[in-house]
Amino acid sequence: MPDNQDLAPTQEQTSQAMSLEEARFLIREKFKLIVDETDPVMIGVVLHQGFVADYEEMLSRHEKRFVEAVSNVSKESAAQVNKSLEILKNEALKGSLENVLAGVAEKAKTTEQLHQKILSFKRVLIFLTTLVWAAVAALFFILK
């Protein structure tokens, strides 16, 4: 007969279905009954083992599908984020380029306006210089 400590569930066995020996050990400890391996009550243990095995299989399938679903969602989300970032980057570059071009166009317009004013001042200066020379010539004729 095995030692009582040998039949106690180990850390590794706690996540598995109860073995027939473990079931017999628990019945003996709790109810002080010795149950034979062929006792009909062991049918419940066998059925329990089957249910646990089926349940573990189902959990394994669900975990696999869950991991696949999360992975797919993560990939799709990453792709969508990258697409959005690319759009934002393109829009930012386009906006920056448009701002630079608008600034250059504004500077060109301002430069043209300044050029027109300089030409206008040049004409006025030529006109005034001509008037001054005419006045000097007239004064020279008057004084002579």
Per-residue pLDDT of 59-104, as tens digits, reads 999 999 999 999 998 998 888 988 888 888 888 888 888 888 888 8
**Could you tell me the two tokens for 63?**
């975990």
Q: Domain extents for the chain?
A: 61-143
pLDDT band at 15 (very low <50, low <70, confident <90, very high): low
Measured between alpha carbons, how far is 64 from 72 in angstroms, rounded to an integer? 12
**pTM, entire model:** 0.44
Long-range Cβ pairs for the range 101-106 (8 Å, 24+): none
- Average pLDDT of every residue of the chain: 83
